Amino acid sequence: MAILGLQLQQRFPVLTAVCYSRLISATIHASAVASVSSLSCKLKKWNNGGRLPRRLVVGLGASFWAQYMNMAGNSKSFIASARLKGAVEQALQNVEWPEQFPFKDEDFQRFDETSDSLFYEGPRFVTHIDDAAIAALTKYYSEVFPPSNTPGVSILDMCSSWVSHFPKGYKQERVVGMGMNEEELKRNPVLTEYVVQDLNLKPKLPFEDNSFDVITNVVSVDYLTKPLDVFKEMCRILKPGGLAIMSFSNRCFWTKAISIWTSTGDTDHALIVGSYFHYAGGFEPPQAVDISPNPGRSDPMYIIYSRKLSTA
């Protein structure tokens, strides 16, 4: 029986310039330089009074970080973490979950706590994972989505933008995008409608119960500061048996990702997202899939998914 645990790492930022999707931008590369705990650390012990170290910010002021990240508008910062093959997929197998949600309010703080509406005010018509990772995600969607043009099927693309990475030509009667920038949402060709909403301020979803067959969220679950509220709402609006697909890589806007995310690695991220499903209630046990197309040579890509219980 596996015990839920987290590997926290101190990370020192290294600044570099890279070419990404034919555009040159600045990104922040963070290397794990020291492990301060192992995956065998028990969250039950933590939940009963133990403390885990917080991330360390070294040598750079907040204003410089924010300015530098804005320069990198077409790319997310890269957080490097070594992983064993199959480790992410095994992370959610036979987990012994603590009785209570083990994370605290401070785990959902961000380096930059200014308004998200300001951060996302300008559109970013770029992609935040590389082409190989996008292709892997699109292929996965093609395997698990209801067939195109299935009567009555509704899909919600949460934290959406100008592209959803759905299969080419994929259509349903209702595909709703929910995001932070209206200009981006207007450009998304798969959407039949959209909603502009900051889930960190307003986690309540403006949809009826049992409305959607599928909910997707691409490389954005790490920005949710009220994840349990959001996941409970996801359960409410999913139809019984409806599928929720959370995908992530090892890239993020470092200043806007939650502390518990930037302090941990890929395997731990699977546990974190899995815990959201578990503690929200009403979902089947979450599963992890590693769809990384070229491990070590392109962006990794991971899926954490679950279905709403048919009796929920």
Residue 165 CB coordination number (10 Å): 20
**pLDDT on residue 121:** 67
What letters, b where the CB count within 10 A reaches 16 and e where it falls short, cover 87-123?
bbbebbeebebbeeebbeeebbebbbeeebeebbeeb
**pLDDT on residue 19:** 30
Do residues 111 and 65 lie in contact, with contact meaning Cβ atoms separated by under 8 Å? yes
**pLDDT on residue 84:** 53
Instruction: Assign 38 a pLDDT band (cuts: 50, 70, 90).
Output: very low
**pLDDT on residue 40:** 32
**pLDDT on residue 285:** 97
pLDDT tens for 91-118 read 999 999 999 999 999 999 988 888 777 7
pLDDT tens for 125-176 read 556 788 999 999 999 999 999 999 999 999 999 999 999 999 999 999 999 9
Phi/psi for 2 (5° steps) reads -75, 145
Domain boundaries, the chain: 104-308
Q: Helix count (H) and strand count (E) of the chain?
A: 9, 13
Tokens of 104: 């605290």
The CATH number of 104-308, from 3.90.1150.10, 3.10.129.10, 3.20.20.70, 3.40.50.150, is 3.40.50.150
Mean pLDDT over the full length of the chain: 77
Place of tokens 């060709």: 189
261: DSSP letter: H
Mean pLDDT score, 64-74: 33
Task: Determine the Cα–Cα distance for residues 140 and 142; give it in Å rounded to an integer.
Answer: 5
Flag whether the pTM goes above 0.85: no
